[in-house]
């Protein structure tokens, strides 16, 4: 049990904490919406979790354990990573005027 705790702590250090995790999610661009789909399988390297792992500073990117940690951290909202990221997304949309070309594409 202690070993699992230490492993999780290493992941947080390697990913760069909450800010590093969020930076990797931002790099996904609009694909970050796929993180919400719980049916996305983290066992595959080419999944959204594999792509997210590639964008992090984690040394062992292409492992099942890394993808599982990223998925679990997101869905369990550890360190409030999910709510913090989604809140920044809402704030970003509020900052764009309704008649901005980005918003017009969504209409």
Task: Convert the pLDDT of each residue in 37-93 to its tens digit.
Answer: 989 999 999 999 999 999 999 999 999 999 999 999 999 999 999 999 999 887 555
d(CA 31, CA 48): 8
pTM of the model: 0.79
Strand, coil or helix: what is 58?
Answer: coil
Rounded CA gap, 82 and 53, in Å? 16
DSSP summary character for residue 36: G
Tell me the pLDDT band of 16, cut-offs 50, 70 and 90. Answer: very high
Cα 24 to Cα 33: distance, rounded to the nearest angstrom: 13
């Amino acid at each position: 049990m202690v070993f699992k705790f230490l492993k999780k702590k290493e992941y947080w250090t390697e990913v760069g904490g909450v800010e590093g995790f969020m930076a990797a999610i931002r790099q996904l661009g609009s694909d970050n919406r796929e993180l919400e789909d719980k049916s996305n399988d983290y066992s595959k390297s080419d999944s959204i979790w594999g792509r997210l792992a590639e964008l992090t500073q984690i040394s062992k990117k292409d492992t099942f354990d890394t993808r599982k940690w990223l998925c679990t951290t997101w869905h369990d909202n550890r360190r409030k990573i999910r709510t913090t990221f989604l809140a920044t997304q809402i704030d970003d949309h509020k900052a764009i005027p309704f008649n901005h070309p980005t918003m017009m594409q969504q209409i």
